[in-house]
Structure 1
Amino acid sequence: MNLVPAAYLASYVLSLLGTSIAGIALPLIVLQTTGSVLGTGAVAAATAVPAVLAGLFMGVVIDRINRRTSSVVTDLVSAAAIAALPLIDVVTGLSLGWFILFGVIGSLGDVPGMTARETLLPAIVRHGRISAQRLMGMREALGAVALIVGPAAAGVLMVAFDGSTVLWITAGTSLAAALLTLLIPHRVGAIVASDGAAPPASTRGRTWSRLREGWRVLFRSPFLVATTTLSLVSVLVLASLQGLILPVWFTLVEQPGMLGLVLTALGGGTFLGGAAYATAGARGRRRAWFLCGLIGTATGFAIIATLGSVWIVLTGAFVVGVANGLFGSLLGVLMIERIPEEMRGRIMGTQNAMMTAAPSLGIVVAAVLVEVAGVEVAAVAIAGVWVVALVVGLAARSLRTLDPLTAGTDEHVTEAVVHAQR
């Protein structure tokens, strides 16, 4: 494999691994340090809103500077925010305020970092001598491995080391991700317009006008609206099941220890789905891959919603993982091809901000349903949300033709771009 995609994938895995470790270890460290459950929740709440806002507004910055540079800077921000905590602990000792402050600073690197890395994808394909199908399939598969390994690594680290050491290790993963991204030549991150020219002068206006320009392209393209909606609903349903409904159900059947296997089954399925797409994604019609992902996800959610037994639930999670591996890889290829290069930061930043907010919304909705109707009804209702999305996905005209377009972008996206720049 060429150095460019190898460095990109290694950086992606390390960054995701660090985020996954921090997601488990940091709340435990806050709880150990402050002794307050409420304080732990306050840190999570305080960092959620800045993360969403940063995802929205930093897209403008990402569309102004070299893609590689923006990816490196966001990883360094994340590393610095985590590394500052053990330093503060040595100097003055940690308190809840310090956790909130550096949690907010770190959130300014998390969602923008995700966006910056995704805006690099078309350039990795162009310069890395790798197909978009293989790159996205490998990305999904390796990401699944990181999400499986991360929580387990966090548990081992918290047992083997003190909190400060774990924080240094977590910061080190983000730093290593930044250093690996530096192996990608600077020219690879240069921003070019969709036609290969320099970005037009109209894209260099005020921050607010440029942000609105990206939103107009996103929300006036039937293709982008449909794919973004499907991704949002998928995240919302999965978060509802994994974050609340299944923990409640496993507790009721007195097998809470089996909950961790859901993540393993989901990750294992995603790995296989991503690997399959990396191997065979360039063959056959994309509509067939799309239907496999869409219908497979609906099947998996339906199996989980039966709550028949622990092993039935794990089987459903595995099916969802395989389908998500296929579906996520295909959507990644479509985003590479059909989002205008000069607007990728703003469009994908908005998408990622919404994806960041969706899990919390899903868990709140699931909690209300469980409280009002019980866990069994809540599981069926949440799975039913994806059935509605399935119908919409099958009926959407903009998703009927998914094979490569000669113009390089979807005609509806192109029309939205022209209208936005008037």
Structure 2
Amino acid sequence: MRLVPVAYLASYTLSLLGNSIAGIALPLIVLQMTGSVLGMGALAAATAVPAVLAGLFMGVVIDRINRRTSSVLTDLVSAAAIAALPVVDLITGLNLGWFILFGIIGSVGDVPGLTARDALLPAIVRHGKVSSERLMGMRESLGAVAMLIGPAAAGTLMVLFDGSTVLWITAATSLLAALLTLLIPHRVGDIARDLPEADADAVPASGWTQLREGWRVLFRSRFLMATTLLSLASVVVLAALQALVLPVYFTLADQPGMLGYVLTALAAGMLLGGGSYALFGTRGRRRWWFVTGIVGTTVGFAVVATLASVWVVFAGAFVVGLSGGLFSSLVGVLMIERIPEQMRGRVMGTQNSMMTAAPPLGIVIAAVITEFVSLDAAAITLAGVWLVAAVVGLLARSLRNLERPEGPSTGTQRGRRW
């Protein structure tokens, strides 16, 4: 494989790994240094809103500058925000205010960083001489590896080192991700300027107008709305299962340690699903891959929702991961082909912001149902949410023809509805 896709995938994996480690280690460090459980919640709440807003509004910037540059800058912001914490600790000592301040600064790099890498994907395909199916399948597989290793690495680091050392290590992953991205030639990140003249003349100069133009493309495209809603439903259900239903289930079963094994099964399934798509995604019709992913995910969620036994839940999680790996890889390929090149930052920034805001919604819904009805009712409700989304996805006219469009794959025709 050529240098361009290798550098991209390595950078993506390291950045995701750093975020995964930080997501576990930072709350624990806050608890160690402040002794406040409430402080852990305050940090999560204070950084959530800026992350969503940054994802929305930084999309305009990503559509204006070189996308390799924007990817490097967001990683550097994340690295600097984390590295600042041990520096402050050495000078004045840390308190909750410092964690919140640099957490907000770091959140400016997280969602925009993901968006910048997403926006860079079509150029990686073109310059790396790799199929979009292989690239997306490998990306999903490596993401599963990061998801698998991150929490374990965070726990191990917290045992072996003090909090400041763990923060330095976490910052180093983001810095290394930025350095790896620099291996990608600068020209690869240039935004394509090959739109028809009428379209090029219509590109607005105002940042706010550009943002609204991106929203117009997203919300008026039946295809983009259908795939976005499916992804949102998946994120809502998965987050609620992982963060609330399964922890409560295993606690009641007096087997809290099994939660880690179930999450490992989920990640292993994603690894296998993404790897399978990387190897075989160019074979057969895309509609078959789509139906397989949707139906398989539905079966997996239904099995998990039974909460019949630890091993049944374990098997259901693996099926969800396997099918989700196929589905996510295919959706990634479709996003490469069908989002207008000059609007990728705005469209995908909005999508990523929605994905960031969605998990708390699922957790709150599951918590309310568990509190006032039962844990079984919460699990069944979540499976029902996905079932409705799956049926809508399978019946949606805009998702019936998923084959590669003829001609340019950037979807640049204005007003087009997929």
| TM-score, normalization by structure 2 | 0.97
Aligned partner of 1:267 in structure 2 is: 267
One-letter amino acid of the counterpart of residue 83, structure 1: A
Match status 1:28 vs 2:47: no
Contact 1:236–1:361 (CA under 8 A) maintained in structure 2: yes
Which residues of 2 match residues 133-148 of structure 1 at below 5 A? 133-148=133-148
Query: 5+ residue gaps in structure 2?
Result: none
Task: Tell me the amino acid that sits aligned with residue 341 of structure 1.
Answer: E
- Please report how far the alpha carbon of residue 238 of structure 1 lies from its aligned counterpart in structure 2 after TM superposition: 0.6
Alignment partner, residue 47 of structure 1: 47
In the TM superposition, what is the alpha-carbon distance from 1:416 to its structure 2 partner?
2.6
Give me the whole-angstrom Cα distance separating, in 1, the residues matched to 2:58 and 2:150.
27
How many residue pairs were aligned?
417
State the secondary structure of the residue aligned to 2:164: helix
Identify the residue that residue 217 of structure 2 maps to in structure 1: 217
Instruction: Mark the runs of 5 or more structure 1 residues left unpaired by the alignment.
Output: none
- How far 1:195 moved relative to its partner? 4.2
- Matches for 1:190-269 after TM superposition, within 5 Å: 190-193=190-193, 195=195, 200-269=200-269
CA contact (8 A) 1:137 1:276 kept: yes
Q: CA deviation at 1:202?
A: 3.3
The residue type paired with residue 369 of structure 2 is L
1:87 aligns to 2:87 (yes or no) = yes
The CA distance in 1 between the partners of 2:259 and 2:380, in whole Å, is 19
After superposition, give the CA deviation of every residue in 1:318-369 in whole Å (9 maximum; x if it has no partner): 0000001100000000000000000000000000000000101110011011
Equivalent in the alignment of 2:281: 281
The offset of 1:200, in angstroms, is 2.0
| Aligned pairs (5 A) from 1:348-367 | 348-367=348-367
2:221·2:416 contact (CA, 8 Å) conserved in 1?
Answer: no
- Equivalent residue of 2:257, what SS? helix
Does 2:131 match 1:131?
yes
Q: Which amino acid aligns with 2:46?
A: A
Question: Is 1:170 matched up with 2:170?
Answer: yes
After TM superposition, the structure 1 = structure 2 runs for residues 322-341 of structure 1, keeping only pairs within 5 Å, are 322-341=322-341
Tell me the SS of whatever aligns to 2:38. helix
Tell me, in whole angstroms, the C-alpha distance in 2 between the residues paired with 1:303 and 1:407.
42
Task: Give the conservation status (yes or no) of the 8 Å contact 1:86–1:168.
Answer: yes
Distance 1:267 1:294 in 2: 17
Q: 1:287 corresponds to which letter in structure 2?
A: R
Q: Distance in 2 between matches of 1:251 and 1:335?
A: 40
In structure 2, C-alpha distance between the alignment counterparts of 1:203 and 1:26, rounded to whole Å: 42
Q: Distance in 1 between matches of 2:24 and 2:300?
A: 26
Kept in 1: contact 2:134–2:279 (CA 8 A): yes
- Which deviates the most, 190-199 or 18-27? 190-199
Q: Judge which range, 241-250 or 347-356, deviates more.
A: 241-250
Q: CA deviation at 1:197?
A: 8.3
Q: Distance in 2 between matches of 1:160 and 1:203?
A: 53
Residue in 2 aligned with 1:114?
114
Contact 2:34 2:95 in 1 (8 A): yes
Alpha carbons 1:199, 1:342 under 8 Å: kept: no
SS in 2 for 1:130: coil
Could you tell me which residue of structure 2 aligns to residue 399 of structure 1?
399
Query: For residue 389 of structure 2, what is the aligned residue in structure 1?
Result: 389
Q: Deviations over 1:144-185 (max 9, x none)?
A: 001100000001100000000000000000000000000000
How far apart are 1:199 and its partner, in Å? Answer: 8.0
1:416 aligns to what?
A: 415
Over residues 40-61 of structure 1, what are the superposed CA-to-partner deviations in whole Å (9 max), with x where a residue is unaligned? 1101100000000000000000
1:204 CA drift (Å): 4.5
The TM-score with structure 1 as length reference comes to 0.97
In structure 2, the CA distance between the partners of 1:410 and 1:306, relative to structure 1 (3 Å rule), is farther
CA distance in 1, matches of 2:23, 2:150: 9
Give the match for residue 311 of structure 1. 311
Deviation at 1:85, TM superposition (A): 0.1
In the TM superposition, what is the alpha-carbon distance from 1:205 to its structure 2 partner? 1.3
1:230 positional shift: 0.2
Supply the AA of the counterpart residue of 1:74: T
d(CA) in 2 for partners of 1:384, 1:36: 37
Per-residue deviation, 1:414: 3.2
Deviation at 1:407, TM superposition (A): 3.8
Does the Cα contact within 8 Å between 2:341 and 2:410 map onto a contact in 1? no
TM-aligned CA deviation for residue 263 of structure 1? 1.2
Deviation (angstroms), 1:261:
1.1
Do the aligned residues in 2 keep the contact of 1:2 with 1:128 (CA within 8 Å)? yes
* Structure 2 partner of 1:75: 75
The one-character-per-residue Cα deviations of 1:265-317 (angstroms, maximum 9, x if unpaired) are: 01000000000000000000000000010000000000000001001001000
* 2-structure distance, mates of 1:183, 1:204: 32
Q: Percent identity?
A: 71
